[in-house]
């Protein structure tokens, strides 16, 4: 039976005018919610009156709905569901308010998920994530969107915005040798695959390497969990476990508790750019359409002639049971982007130590290249990201149907449009706005080259058969291969 426990911090605001059963330290049976007041942990201890007003504005254009959704996602860390509607419905009475005092702020919550508390006190890591959400929403609104400093339709300005968001979150403080490995993979994976991601993370940790993921469960959590053990054995006390997410996906992929640096990027395109500019090497584990989107983005960027000399070690890996998955993925990359794209990565099956050795050696090449070219170790300024990969894609039935998916188009166009297509499927699967569109208008229709769509249909069928689309519930396809 779930109990609600009120500590002195959470009960202070409720003590007045409450019956005896609601006094401090009282236990309420059969409840899953906590009312609490928490002080800042990690960042952003003060806000201006104008910032508070924006955050509490529930009207059109106000920040409260965004702040509430992201806060609820963070407080639900550890959930075994990727159904954002289920989360919001279960916690429909959740409210969060800002209490401003002359010396700082507090957050006051009612009907918060009990999983975020232990013995009536909010878990420290959850509290850090909660105030990271507040920090990023305030900064992006004030300094990126409303300041007029950035033209978010121009590539150079977009990159500067990404840099400033990461700098404000203090992710660029580390100036040592390149050691950050980005790990991509599905949130819905088998136990065998999850255990394998931990084994790879462990090998990375033994070699003193740090980990950056999308911050959620599955292949995003496993490498971090393994790395903590590897770091502990090597007495590394400064391990970095970076989680990058964005508002439309955070409710379906709540930040896992190992993340010690959480950043909320404005949208998926800036999140992807943050990954490739922060990371020094990339490991791809089995996944679904979100992982395919990341792969198409990465290869599309690396295939740009301006990046021909950019060292970026990329390894696709999984246990023996995932061999067929990577064979299909490799075939799809070959058909859609060609042999040059296939040459940009290695496939290593069921050998965590070899994955880590290859990555560690590759990071040595990255170090030498950055040193020779004068590029920063903590942010890859020299990587060229084409405009088509930076501009946000507005997912609608019309925009998806209009995507140009033909093999006779230039490779960068194919990569950009395939990335957008997979992004649309992610939206239809787990993002609130996309799910609502599917409910209202039915599946997205995908048009294009018959050969390409044939391979795409086979790949998506594999994802469905292997339950890579969603964690919870029976999967109902959000797409239709039309032509």
The fold of the 176-483 domain, in CATH, is Rossmann fold (3.40.50)
This prediction's pTM: 0.88
Residue ranges in the chain whose pLDDT is less than 50: 1-30
CA distance readout (Å), 82 to 266, 353, 432: 20, 31, 11
- Residue 20 confidence (pLDDT): 38
Give the Cα separation of 129 and 135 in Å (integer). Answer: 10
The angle formed by the CA atoms of residues 46, 147 and 391, to the nearest 5 degrees, is 115
| Nearest to 316, CA basis, from 353, 361, 344, 285 | 285
Q: How many residues does the chain have?
A: 483
Query: What's the number of CA atoms in the CB half-sphere (13 Å) around residue 343?
Result: 6
Q: What is the pLDDT of residues 115-154, one digit of tens each?
A: 889 888 889 999 999 999 999 999 999 999 999 999 999 9
For the chain, the domains span: 4-143, 176-483
For the domain made up of 4-143, the CATH class stated in words is: alpha beta
- Residue 26 confidence (pLDDT): 36
CA distance readout (Å), 215 to 32, 133, 206: 24, 13, 21
- Residue 21 confidence (pLDDT): 36
Q: What are phi and psi of 214, to 5 degrees?
A: -75, 0
Please classify residue 406 by burial: count the beta carbons closer than 10 Å to its beta carbon, then call 0-12 exposed, 13-18 middle and 19+ buried.
middle
Q: What is the pLDDT of residues 53-70, one digit of tens each?
A: 888 888 877 788 888 888
- Residue 55 confidence (pLDDT): 85
- Residue 17 confidence (pLDDT): 36
Q: What is the distance of C-alpha 246 from the center of its chain? A: 6
Longest dimension (CA), the chain: 74
């Amino acid at each position: 039976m779930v109990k609600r426990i009120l500590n002195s911090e959470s009960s202070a605001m409720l003590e007045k005018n409450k019956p005896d059963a609601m006094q401090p330290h009282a236990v309420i049976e059969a409840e899953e919610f906590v009312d609490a007041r928490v002080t800042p942990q990690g960042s952003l201890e003060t806000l201006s009156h104008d910032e508070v007003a924006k955050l509490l504005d529930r009207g059109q254009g106000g920040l409260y709905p965004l702040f509430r959704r992201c806060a609820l996602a963070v407080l639900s860390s550890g959930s075994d569901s990727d159904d954002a509607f289920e989360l919001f419905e279960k916690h429909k009475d959740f409210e969060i308010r800002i209490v401003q005092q002359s010396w700082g702020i507090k957050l006051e919550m009612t009907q918060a998920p009990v999983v975020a508390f232990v013995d009536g006190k909010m878990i420290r890591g959850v509290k850090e994530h909660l105030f990271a959400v507040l920090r990023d929403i305030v900064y992006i609104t004030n300094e990126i969107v409303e300041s007029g400093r950035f033209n978010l339709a121009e590539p150079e300005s977009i990159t500067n915005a990404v840099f400033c968001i990461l700098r404000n979150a203090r992710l660029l403080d580390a100036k040592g040798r390149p050691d950050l490995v980005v790990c991509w993979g599905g949130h819905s994976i088998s136990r065998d695959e999850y255990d394998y991601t931990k084994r790879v993370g462990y090998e990375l940790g033994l070699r003193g390497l740090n980990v950056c993921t999308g911050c959620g469960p599955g292949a995003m959590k496993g490498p971090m969990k393994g790395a903590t053990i590897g770091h502990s054995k090597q007495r590394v006390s400064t391990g970095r476990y970076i989680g990058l997410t964005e508002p439309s996906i955070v409710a379906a992929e709540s930040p896992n508790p190992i993340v010690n640096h959480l950043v909320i990027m404005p949208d998926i395109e800036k999140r992807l750019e943050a990954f490739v500019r922060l990371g020094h090497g990339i490991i791809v584990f089995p996944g679904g359409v979100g992982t395919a989107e990341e792969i198409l983005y990465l290869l599309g960027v690396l295939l740009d002639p301006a990046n021909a000399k950019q060292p970026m070690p990329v390894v696709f890996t999984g246990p023996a049971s995932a061999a067929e998955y990577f064979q299909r993925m490799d075939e799809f990359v070959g058909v859609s982007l060609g042999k040059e794209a296939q040459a940009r990565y290695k496939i290593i099956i069921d050998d965590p130590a070899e994955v880590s050795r290859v990555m560690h050696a590759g990071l040595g090449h990255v170090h030498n290249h950055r040193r020779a070219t004068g590029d920063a170790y903590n942010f890859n300024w020299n990587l060229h990201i084409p405009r088509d990969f930076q501009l946000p894609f507005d997912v609608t039935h019309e925009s998806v149907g209009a995507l140009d998916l033909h093999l006779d188009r230039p490779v960068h166009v194919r990569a950009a449009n395939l990335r957008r297509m997979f992004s649309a499927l992610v939206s239809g699967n787990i993002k609130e706005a996309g799910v609502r569109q599917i409910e209202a208008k039915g599946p997205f229709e995908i048009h294009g080259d018959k050969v390409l769509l044939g391979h795409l249909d086979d790949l998506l069928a594999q994802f469905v058969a292997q339950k890579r689309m969603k964690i919870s519930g029976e999967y109902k396809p959000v797409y239709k291969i039309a032509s």
